Structure 1
Amino acid sequence: MPGPARGGDGPDARRLRTILISVCIALMAGTASVSGLNVAQPDLAVGFGARGAASPTPARPRGTPSTPSAH
């Protein structure tokens, strides 16, 4: 494994820190937008007149039929 860059061969600590901070801010912005959508979703559904189940349908394991078979 190569050692740390010396003599301007690679990015310096300031540049790496800036990249890290930028990526962290982008991750926080993405998380905040998804959280905001989850909070606003019920109001949007009412505003658009959407109707659906009162509670979400639980996921079924793959290969499980959607309706139980009568045996």
Structure 2
Amino acid sequence: MEYKMEELLPIVEELAQKYTSGESSSITYERAAYLAGNEKVREKLQMAKKEYERLLQSRSFYKDWKSFWDF
């Protein structure tokens, strides 16, 4: 894929604003890598939290179902 500079500038502007709060138009490579990594960690954390909640619910269901049949 090839893009013209004019097509990329609005995207760069939006990202620079987002990650520097308008204080600068440049983002260091280290900062960009940190933010990209941090975002991935947050995504994985949310996925793990949802899976944990799902497992707790299924375990609760199993316990309720088992106690129903235990007389």
TM-score, scaled to structure 2: 0.49
Higher relative contact order (CA 8 A, sep 6+): 2
Q: Whose helix proportion is higher, 1 or 2?
A: 2
- Greater C-alpha Rg: 1
TM-score, scaled to structure 1: 0.49
